[in-house]
Structure formats: structure tokens, C-alpha cells
Structure 1
Amino acid sequence: MIGDSNRKMQQIPPLKSIQAFEQVARFGNVAKAAEQLNLTPSAVSHQIANLEALIGRALFVREARGMSLTPAGEQYQREISGILQSLALATERAGSAVGFDCLRLHAAPSFGLLWLLPRLDHFRSCHPEIQINLSCSYETLHFGRHQIDVDIRHGYPDWPSLEVRTIRHERATVLASPSLLERIPVSQPSDLLGQNLILSEAALVQWPQWFAQQGVALPQAPFALGFDRSYMSLEAARHGFGFALESSLLSQDYVKRGDLVPVFPAELSTPVSAHHLVFPRGHAEMSRVRHFLEWVQGQLGHVFNY
């Protein structure tokens, strides 16, 4: 029995090997992983070799362009995803005051500013025991290294090792200020030809796609203004600088206040799934994350797509 117990304990890999595996899996490159871990490339390669010897199977395919996961490596990555994050959080909780719980969020800037921030006070009133830390950027952060519980990402979902909850019922909608529509009446898509159009460079649905869907040839004139942030496009439209093609989710409060109005009926908007709540497998079991996910669903009025 003692021998069996020792053999089971020996199957727990060293923490350094897990760290090396996660970083090489992330970058597909030993040198970049070594830089992140402040180790030499040979030390990282040694840790990977030790881990593969312990498991008894190759975790990576070595290629001239870098390293990619084998099927066994992909399975291992899925199953240990978030283990370092959980360890870091457990260590943090052990050294924190009783009852302290910090929800660490990262969000795409426009979602964080336009949708999440105005509603955080409501979440705090529902869960005063949870402290919130919110950071915003378009950078894809590492959950363990940056200590992130939930990442609200913008784009096409392609994160197979993570849990993804996609926000539904978002649409790309043509919006304008009431004052602009008073000056320039618009009743059909072709009426926008020759008008000042605001380009949202990061949006998943842009003007060429929208015009093509309406059967209208793309105007040859350059766009009046272009921005790499949706909140800039919406602010420009609010000031009456032109027509914006933007997310109904991000523009929701502008429309409620009457700062912007949809130019066309809903059937001329385009469905889009652009925002996703992303987190390591198992994070939904944490009470603070579970409370946040339930609260977001309540605010949206629907359940997520999985």
C-alpha cells in the first residue's frame, strides 16, 4: 500500500514543468517561453523532456518553425488549464482577510467602458462582498500570469482550451444623432451614398459587408472618419459627425438616452456574435465567477450561447 501511494505521488509533476508546458503551448516556441519564465531555452526544453518522460508520451511535435501540441498535449492542456491560476488564487485567499473576494476582470475597451462600467454599481449592490478589479485592452492576457478570472473578448471565438460563453442578440446597426437625421432624412440604404460614414475599424461587420447585404454598391467616396475603438465611433456619431455602423450592445445606452437612434428597422441590421466571456475550465465553479456570470445573464435578459 505504501508503495502504491508513493507511485501516485510521483505522478504529480514539478511545478516548473507545468509552467514550462503552459508557456511553450501558448507560444509554440521554446525561446519565447524561456523569456517569459526567466529561464534559458535549454532549461525549458529540459523541463518539457522531464514532463514527457513522466507521462510516457510526446506532448509536442518539434518542427523547424516551432513546436505544436500533439493530440496528447492538447488533451493535457485542456485538463490542466487554469491549474496555476487556481493555485495563485488559493495562495492569495490564504493570505487575505476572511471574507475578502476579488473578481478580476479583463475586457475589450469599448465593452468595458460602454456596457460593463455603467452597470458595475448594480453588481456591487447585489454582491457587496466581492471587490472588482477591471482592466481593459485588446491584448489577450494569460489567465494565470495576469491573475484574470474572466476575460470579455471581442472577435471570432477560437479558444478551444477555454470555456466560452457568447453573448447573443447583438446586431450591427446603422445609427445617427437625431439632429443629423433632421438635416439629412434617410429612408433606405441607398440614401447613405455620398453621406459622411464613420468607419469602426475593429467591428466584425463593416460598411462594405452591410451595403452588400442590402444590395447596394459600396460608395466610392472615402469614409469621413475612422476609429479603432467603438466608443470613439459612437461619440463621433453622437456629435452628429456622420452615420455609424455599430453594435446594438455597445450603443444600447446611447439609444436609451436618445443620443443616437437606429436609422433603419431591425430587419436591415446584421446579426453578429462579437463579444464572449472567456475563462479557464473550472472557473465557473468559483462563487465570485458564478455570481458574475449569473448577473450578466440577468442584465442581458437571456442565457449565453455555449
Structure 2
Amino acid sequence: MEKHADFCPSIKSLRIFEEVAHYGNVARAAEEVNITASAASHQLAKLEKELGCLLFNRSPKGMTLTLAGENYLKEISPLLLGLTQASTRLGNEKARSALRIHCAPSFGLLWLLPRLHKFRERYPAIQVTLSCSYENLSFSRDNIDIAVRHGFPDWKSLEVKTIRHEKMSVLASPDYLIKHPVATPAELINHALILSESPLIQWPQWFAAMQLAQPTKDWLFRFDRSYMSLEAARLGHGVVFESELLAAEYLRSGTLVRVFGDECSLPVNAHHLVWPRGFARFPRVSHFLQWSSEQLEASPPA
């Protein structure tokens, strides 16, 4: 199909393209934009015809972006996001100053929430909305300004700033250690161990790094949320291997302590500030990026 120099696809077809790229499934994408799967397939086929290239590889397992599709998504996602937010906030001055943050639940509860009042004190005109889940939400569809994501940083179409100097350490409550002293790493194999399943580095990797045999008895507890693991350790149930970034308030208050020195801690780059390209020019986003950097660079807990 011959295209004019000012050719521009419809917003509807671009939205379908973005949703299919996110879900890898036409039917699921169609639900998000409230049309039938047949109509969504038609819009997608029309877009590919107009562009003159395939955007997806299709298989029984789903749809994955082609190289052309990946590049196109990088280009249009910031534009769609800007269009969505501009339309939503038009004529609403208060909404323009609202900062919408999404983050992993444990980071939101354990690190961000205890400090968020400091951000509000510095920038009282910025209204903060915080949502938490382990799903990587769409910035445009879910109207998010900035996210704190947990995992491996594989978000090529977004700006990413990895939180540095995070480390995983063996932690326990002082009461637990009084009742169950631990002198060496090798002794932990006989202790009640709480397994955190969400961190990128867990107990098995720690035992391997310490060149110790893996525990053979069952874990005392297994939790898929770090805040549950840390609370269980604070209550004196057992020993946990967790992020000092998330455990900062426990360490500062003394309700949890390091069982060993730094030589038994492992570095990890697991949390990342993520935002769409160009969003750092918005004052609400730039202020949060600057403030969070200051908080993260502050002295670690004693």
C-alpha cells in the first residue's frame, strides 16, 4: 500500500498494538480496550498492512514482537502515554501536580512509605498516589508517572536507574539469637530458616556462596513477600536472608540485627526506578527522582 508523507495510523490501532505487545494475546488485549477479539485482529492486520511490515511473530503459544515491532513500540509508547495523560489532565491544574507511583509491595511498605512524608513536606503541592503490585503495569494504560520495579532490568523502551549498594544479609531478632546463638555460618544448617521466595538471591545461593552444604530439613516458613519474611524474623521465629534495603527500619530500630559481618553478605541489584523517556522533564517526576536519590544515598542503618 502506498502511504502519503503525512500518513498516521489510527489511535485505536496503536492502542491495540500496544496492548497485544504487553499481553502477547489478542483476546486479552481486546478486553482492555473493550472491543471484540475479531475487531482487534482486524485493527492489527490493518496496521501491519499500512506500515508494510509484520509487527508480531504468531505461534500457538501467543504473539511476540518482531524486531520491527520492538523498535516501533519504543517509538510510539511515550507518544501514547503523553497523549493519554494530556487528555486526562486537561483543564485540571490539581491533576497536573499529581505524582502517580507504582512499586513492588515490599518496597512500598518497608522503604517508601516510612519516608514518603518527607517528600510531601518538601513538595506540599504535589499530591502522591501510590499503588503496589508485582505486576509491571503499563505506564500509559494505568496512568503511571514512575515505577519502582523488582527483578532484572529488561525494559528497553524505558529509562532505568538501578538502586545501587543493595545487599542481602542474614538477619535475626536479638531475642532469637539469645535463645539460639549462632557462631559460624556452618551452624545455620541446624537453625530455623525462613525462606523469602521473591528476592533474586535466596538461601540456596547464600549457602553455595559460603561453600556450605545445602540444608536438608524443611524451611520453617516460605513467604512470597519480603515483608512477611521480615516480620516472621522480627517475631523471633527464625533466621531470614533478606535485603538490607527493605530491612532498613528493622535494623535502625534494632528489632533485627545482622547475624554475621559484611563478609557474609551478598550484593544485589534488584530494585530499579523506571519511567518513560521524556518524563524526567516533568517537575513532579524530576523532584521525586532527586529526592529518592538523596534518600538512597543517605547513611545506611547502624
Same fold (TM over 0.5): yes
Note the alpha carbon deviations across 1:109-146, whole angstroms, 9 max, x for none. 11000000011011111111110000111122222221
- Please give the secondary structure, in 1, of the residue aligned with 2:222: strand
Q: How does 1:8-47 map to 2 (within 5 A)?
A: 8=5, 10-47=6-43
- What's 2:49 paired with? 53
How far apart are the structure 1 equivalents of 2:261 and 2:72? 49
What is the deviation of 1:60? Answer: 2.3
Amino acid at match of 2:145: D
Amino acid at match of 1:184: H
- Please give the secondary structure, in 1, of the residue aligned with 2:128: strand
- Please give the secondary structure, in 2, of the residue aligned with 1:163: strand
Amino acid at match of 1:114: L
Q: CA separation of 1:159/1:99 partners in 2, compared to 1, >3 Å: closer, same or farther?
A: closer
1:180 matched to 2:176 = yes
What is the deviation of 1:158? Answer: 2.0
How far apart are the structure 2 equivalents of 1:50 and 1:68? 18
Comparing 48-57 with 115-124, greater Cα deviation is found at 48-57
How far apart are the structure 2 equivalents of 1:20 and 1:244? 44
How far apart are the structure 2 equivalents of 1:178 and 1:64? 54
How far apart are the structure 2 equivalents of 1:99 and 1:196? 49
How far apart are the structure 1 equivalents of 2:146 and 2:93? 22
Comparing 244-253 with 180-189, greater Cα deviation is found at 180-189
Q: 1:259 aligns with which of 255, 262, 266?
A: 255
Q: CA separation of 1:51/1:99 partners in 2, compared to 1, >3 Å: closer, same or farther?
A: closer
Q: How does 1:90-239 map to 2 (within 5 A)?
A: 90-97=86-93, 100-239=96-235
Note the alpha carbon deviations across 1:271-293, whole angstroms, 9 max, x for none. 11111122222222222111111
Runs of 4+ in 1 over 4 A off after TM superposition: none
What is the deviation of 1:215? Answer: 1.3
Is the 1:100–1:131 contact (alpha carbons within 8 Å) kept by the matching residues of 2? Answer: no
How far apart are the structure 1 equivalents of 2:94 and 2:131? 25
- Please give the secondary structure, in 2, of the residue aligned with 1:223: coil
What is the deviation of 1:50? Answer: 2.7
Is the 1:175–1:260 contact (alpha carbons within 8 Å) kept by the matching residues of 2? Answer: yes
- Please give the secondary structure, in 1, of the residue aligned with 2:141: helix
What is the deviation of 1:28? Answer: 2.2
- What's 1:3 paired with? none
Note the alpha carbon deviations across 1:148-179, whole angstroms, 9 max, x for none. 11121112222222222211111110011112
What is the deviation of 1:90? Answer: 1.1
What is the deviation of 1:7? Answer: 4.7
What is the deviation of 1:190? Answer: 0.9
- Please give the secondary structure, in 2, of the residue aligned with 1:145: coil
Q: TM-score, normalised by structure 2?
A: 0.92
Amino acid at match of 1:133: T
How far apart are the structure 1 equivalents of 2:16 and 2:142? 16
Comparing 234-243 with 84-93, greater Cα deviation is found at 84-93
Task: Give 5+ residue unaligned stretches, structure 1.
Answer: 1-5
Comparing 169-178 with 274-283, greater Cα deviation is found at 274-283
- Please give the secondary structure, in 2, of the residue aligned with 1:118: coil
- Please give the secondary structure, in 2, of the residue aligned with 1:146: coil
Q: CA separation of 1:188/1:103 partners in 2, compared to 1, >3 Å: closer, same or farther?
A: same
Task: Give 5+ residue unaligned stretches, structure 2.
Answer: none
Comparing 124-133 with 148-157, greater Cα deviation is found at 148-157
1:286 matched to 2:244 = no
Note the alpha carbon deviations across 1:227-250, whole angstroms, 9 max, x for none. 121111111111111111000100
Question: What is the alpha-carbon root mean square deviation over aligned residues?
Answer: 1.9
Number of residue pairs matched? 296
Q: CA separation of 1:15/1:63 partners in 2, compared to 1, >3 Å: closer, same or farther?
A: same
Q: TM-score, normalised by structure 1?
A: 0.91
